[in-house]
Amino acid sequence: MPARSTRHVTILEVAREARASKTSVSRYFGDERERLSRELQGRIASAAKRLGYRPNQMARSLKGGHSRLIGMLVADIRNPFSVAVMHGVEQACRASGYSLLACNTDNDPAQESAHLSVLASYRVEGLVINATGSPHGALQAVIDRGTPLVLLDREVDRVDADVVGLDNPRAIDMALEHLAERGYRELLYITEPPEEASSRQRRMARFQTRLDDFGLTGESLCLPLTGGTGIPHDAIAAFLNRPGAAPKALLCANGKITLAVTRTLQALGVRLGETGLMGIDELDWCELVAPGITTLAQPTEAIGRAAVECLMQRRETQRHPSPPRHIHYQPVLIPRGSTQR
């Protein structure tokens, strides 16, 4: 049992209790135990334990400039994809002795700026950012200040930082290949507003570009899901009811779209498979909605870990800055009944 139960124990109290100097105690809890005699180590260890001592990170940070904190900005914490990546980030941080200060921006640039400012005030040593769309200068300011920064999934104009995410062109190619192979000919690509995220732009552009190569025709539909406003059933119904015998399929740009579209298709009484349905992002329930929804899974944990690795690398080589790295992961195709005619 610790002797004193209220308030925090300081290094000085431990030093007194162990009949040693603050310096020695500091060395013990820093990485310099080997410099202390066995005996002194023992005294300090037991004194610290007796008193229940934990070094004050705030003081450490103030003196040494090492907050041991990594900041993360998540655009939408209720998106399972974001959470999965965040899980990877947190694991990796902890493995490197860092704690994660994660903030949710709800896709709101104002919250993004506010959080960025808070994170700076805690002197985070690195930032992992799943940015909202708006290209404000706060990000570049962070970099200029010398804080390593990694962009997740979304690049930001005129911010030269490392970027980690999905290989978007490849993902689209895989989707088109799969749909063509399964015999679908007319596609509808459904996305959230592309302005808001570079990954959305990449995917949509690639979709338009490569249709021909796979002998497909197609068009895009933009769904602003933000407000609680319903999904425009009409646009989707119009596509499905268009005359012609060519098999039709829907391609959803991300998990949120897949959810909204699946709801719509059920409301419209569409039979999956006959009408193809495929989505980027794997979700818990995709195998449950009969006959199963085909997806392209992102390696979320790997993405999270890679982001932290970039950070750590920059931290070590801060003197010799290297050009921004772009790391793109391959998706994994999970074929299910929704693309089986």
State which residue, 138 or 180, has the beta carbon closest to a copy of itself. Answer: 138
* Residue 271: C-alpha distances to residues 175, 236, 293, 337 (Å): 20, 14, 12, 11
The single residue among 16, 50, 60, 68 that binds DNA, judged by CB under 7 A, is 60
Binding status of residue 103 toward a copy of itself by CB under 8 A: yes
The single residue among 16, 29, 167, 177 that binds DNA, judged by CB under 7 A, is 29
The single residue among 85, 100, 188, 216 that binds a copy of itself, judged by CB under 8 A, is 100
Of 71, 51, 190, 78, nearest to 121 (Cα)?
71
List the strands of the sheet with 294-297, edge to edge: 217-222, 186-191, 248-252, 276-280, 294-297, 332-334
The single residue among 31, 34, 234, 284 that binds a copy of itself, judged by CB under 8 A, is 284
In angstroms, what is the minimal distance from the CB of 104 to a copy of itself?
6
In angstroms, what is the minimal distance from the CB of 45 to DNA?
12
Phi, psi for 331 (deg, rounded to 5) = -80, 170
Residue ranges in 15-74 that form contacts with a copy of itself under rule CB under 8 A: 52, 54-59, 61-62, 67
**Peptide bond before residue 291 is cis, with ω within 30 degrees of 0:** yes
- Tell me the torsion sign for CA atoms 287, 290, 292, 293: negative
Instruction: Report which secondary-structure segment, H or E, holds 61.
Output: helix 57-64
The single residue among 24, 275, 294, 300 that binds DNA, judged by CB under 7 A, is 24
State which residue, 63 or 320, has the beta carbon closest to DNA. Answer: 63
The single residue among 3, 62, 118, 246 that binds DNA, judged by CB under 7 A, is 62
* Rounded-to-10 torsion of CA 154, 311, 107, 165: 30
State which residue, 238 or 290, has the beta carbon closest to a copy of itself. Answer: 290
CA–CA distance, 41 with 153 (Å, rounded to integer): 47
Of 196, 152, 86, 201, nearest to 326 (Cα)?
152
Q: Which two tokens stand for residue 306?
A: 């890679």
Q: Which among DNA, a copy of itself, none contacts residue 90 (Cβ within 5 to 8 A by kind)? A: a copy of itself
* Rounded-to-10 torsion of CA 237, 187, 260, 133: -130
The single residue among 36, 45, 120, 221 that binds a copy of itself, judged by CB under 8 A, is 120
The single residue among 110, 141, 268, 332 that binds a copy of itself, judged by CB under 8 A, is 141
State which residue, 103 or 327, has the beta carbon closest to a copy of itself. Answer: 103
Binding status of residue 22 toward DNA by CB under 7 A: yes
CA–CA distance, 237 with 254 (Å, rounded to integer): 20
Q: Which residues bind DNA (CB under 7 A)?
A: 8, 10-12, 19-24, 26-27, 29-30, 35-37, 39-40, 53-56, 59-60, 62-64
Q: Which residues bind a copy of itself (CB under 8 A)?
A: 2, 5-8, 52, 54-59, 61-62, 67, 77-78, 80, 83-84, 86-87, 90, 99-104, 117-118, 120-123, 141, 144-146, 259, 262-263, 266, 283-285, 287-290
